[in-house]
Each structure stands twice: as structure tokens, then as C-alpha cells.
Structure 1
Amino acid sequence: MRKVIAVFNMTLDGVCDHTAGIPDEEIHKHYTELLNQADVILYGRITYHLMEYWRPYVKNPSGEKSMDDFAQAIDKIPKIVFSNSLKNIEWESATLASGDLKEEVLKLKQQSGKDILVGSRSLIIQLMKLNLIDEFQLCVYPVVAGSGLPLFENINSRIILKLLKTRIFSGGSVILYYEPVRSVDNLDV
């Protein structure tokens, strides 16, 4: 069974604002490798539109290798977009989800292949509530945003995580790798 991995960037105070982080060459390389090791990434409408930023770099590279490599990787990986308002998608490697989140993810998990990434805050929260996330990879930037949208919001029950490992980048960012501790108290039945 494939793993569902929640992958997200946040500030030290838990804010998930793409403009607050300080991605560098090392972080771009990390995410390029991660995308190349997965079979699919799941997005909500808002994050999907944010990631479309990278599309022009495929045809018109920036000249910065790590950014251009990331653009190629994000362009290549199949994307499934969960949205109630989008009717069509222009990105060739993206499709709109045909079913609800739970049934789509359960179906993907049963298929053979590489991991399933989740790169959207709203989907991470929904999948947490459904106990369908197998691992969290949270990149914490050494920035205090002071305000903004928290990654973990509207979680109604305590979720215990076990630290698997960490990765420290030279710029001060840290990726924390966690897995949820599955217990009777944490399961929705």
C-alpha cells in the first residue's frame, strides 16, 4: 500500500504563507528529488493556482538550475486537483478529481506505485480528520511571520506524532519528518 505524505512549508510560528518562506537552492533541490520519487501530488484549488507559477519556467527557464529543475519536476508529476468550483484545468499533467477526497485517496493508496504527496493545506486538514495521512514532512523556515493562516486549524481532536528524523538545511530551515501515532483514541470509526 502506498503512503500518503503531507508536504508543506511553514514559518516557525506555524503560518503557511508561501511568501514568508526563504526557499533557496538547497530546498529547491530537496523538493525536486521528492517530486521525482512520488507518483502523484494532490492539490486543492488555491494551491493548484499558486503552483501554476512554475509553468512558464518549463518553456522559458530562469537560468537558475535548481529553480528550473524544480519547474520541470512539478510540471511532470501528475496532479489531482480537488475543487468544487473549477470546471476545467489547463495544465496537461493535472486532472480534476472525479470522486470525493476520501474515496479517491483510498483508491490511490490501494494501487501499486510510489508515494502520494499532499501539498495543499485544506487537503492536509481534511485528510488528518480522516486519518489518511501516513507521514508529515514539514519544512519550517527560520521566520516568525507574526500573523497569517496557520497550517493546523480546525482540528477537533488531539493527534500525536512520532518524530522519524530531521533534515537541517544550511540556510537554517529544518524538515521535520513525523508519522501519526495510530491509537484507538485517534481513529474515526
Structure 2
Amino acid sequence: MRKIIAAINMTVDGFCDHTAIIPDEEIHQHYTELLNNAGVILYGRITYQLMEFWQPFIKNPSGEKSMDDFAIAIDKIPKIVFSHTLKNTEWESAKLANRDLEEEVLELKKQSGKDIFVGSRSLIIQLIKLNLIDEFQLCVHPVVAGSGLPLFENINDRILLQLVKTKTFDSGAIILYYEPAGK
């Protein structure tokens, strides 16, 4: 059975704000490897549209190897987008979900293949509430944003996590790998 892995960047104070975090070459390389070893990534509309930033780098590489490699990885990974407003996706490797999140995820979990990554804050929150996340990969950057969108917003139940490993980057960012306690 495939695992559902919530992988997201955040600040030390718990905010998911892409403008507060500046990933370096090492972090781009990490996420390139992660995407190359994933089966599919799930996005909400907002994050999906933010990730469209990478599309031009496929035809017009930046010359920065880590960014260009990431652009290739994000381009080729299958993406499922959950949106009530999008009518289609511009990305060939993306499709709109045709079921609700819980049904889609339960069906994906049953299939054979590589793990399923969730890269949107809103989907992570919904999947936490459905108790469907098997692993959290929280990349905490050494930045205090002071405000923004908190990752664990509107979570009413206590969730115990077990730290299974860490990965530290030269920039001071650290990935905390957690599994829900008791899984």
C-alpha cells in the first residue's frame, strides 16, 4: 500500500509562506530527488498555480542546475489538482480530481506504485482531519515570518507524532520526518 506523505516548507514560527523562504541549491536538489522518487503529488488550486512558475524553465532553462533539475522533476511528476474553480489544467502532467479528496486518496493508496506526496497546506489540513497522512516531512527554514498561513490551522484534536529521522541542510534548514504515533 502506498504512503501518503505531507511534504511542505515552513518557517520556524509555523507559517507556510513561499515568499519568506528562499530555497538554495541543496534544498532544490533534495526536492528534485523527492519528486523523482514519488508516484504523484496532490495540490490544491492555489499551490498548483504557484508551482506553474516552473513551467517556463522547461523550454528556457535558467542556467542554475538545481533549479533547472527541479523544473524538470516538477514538470514530469503526475499532479492531481483539487479545485472547485479550475476548469482545466495547462500542465500536461496535471489533471483535475474527479472525486472528493478522501475518495481520491483512498483509491490512490490501494494502487501499487510509488508514494503519494501532498504539497498543499489546505490539503494537508484536510488529510490530517481525515487521519490519512502516513508521514510528515516538514522542512523548517531558519526564518521567523511573524505572520502568514499557519500549517496546523483549525486542527482541533491532539495529534501525537513520532520523530523518525532528520536531515539538516547547510543553510540551517532542517527536515523533520514524523509519523503519527501508533501507526
Q: Same fold (TM over 0.5)?
A: yes
Paired residues, what number? 183
Q: Normalising by structure 2, what TM-score?
A: 0.99
Tell whether 2:137 aligns with 1:132. no
Q: Normalising by structure 1, what TM-score?
A: 0.96
Q: What is the CA deviation profile of residues 101-122 of structure 1, one whole-angstrom value per residue up to 9, with x for unaligned ones? A: 0010000000000000000000
Distance in 2 of aligned mates of 1:96 and 1:182 = 33
1:154 is displaced (CA, Å) by 0.3
Q: Unaligned stretches of 5+ in structure 1?
A: 184-189
Task: State the partner residue of 2:101.
Answer: 101
For residues 26-175 of structure 1, the aligned pairs below 5 Å read 26-175=26-175
1:22 is displaced (CA, Å) by 2.2
Task: State the partner residue of 1:15.
Answer: 15
Distance in 2 of aligned mates of 1:151 and 1:59 = 33
| Letter paired with 2:60 | N
Distance in 2 of aligned mates of 1:22 and 1:86 = 28
Distance in 1 of aligned mates of 2:170 and 2:152 = 26
Q: What is the CA deviation profile of residues 72-118 of structure 1, one whole-angstrom value per residue up to 9, with x for unaligned ones? A: 00000000000111111110000000001001000000000000000
| Letter paired with 1:124 | I
| Letter paired with 1:11 | T
Task: State the partner residue of 1:187.
Answer: none
Identity rate, percent:
78
1:181 is displaced (CA, Å) by 1.5
SS in 2 for 1:38: coil
1:156 is displaced (CA, Å) by 1.1
| Letter paired with 1:108 | L
Q: What is the CA deviation profile of residues 128-170 of structure 1, one whole-angstrom value per residue up to 9, with x for unaligned ones? A: 0001000000000000001111111000100010000000000
| Letter paired with 1:20 | A
Distance in 1 of aligned mates of 2:78 and 2:10 = 24
Q: Report the RMSD for the aligned CA atoms in angstroms.
A: 0.8
Stretches (4+) displaced over 4 A: none
Q: Unaligned stretches of 5+ in structure 2?
A: none
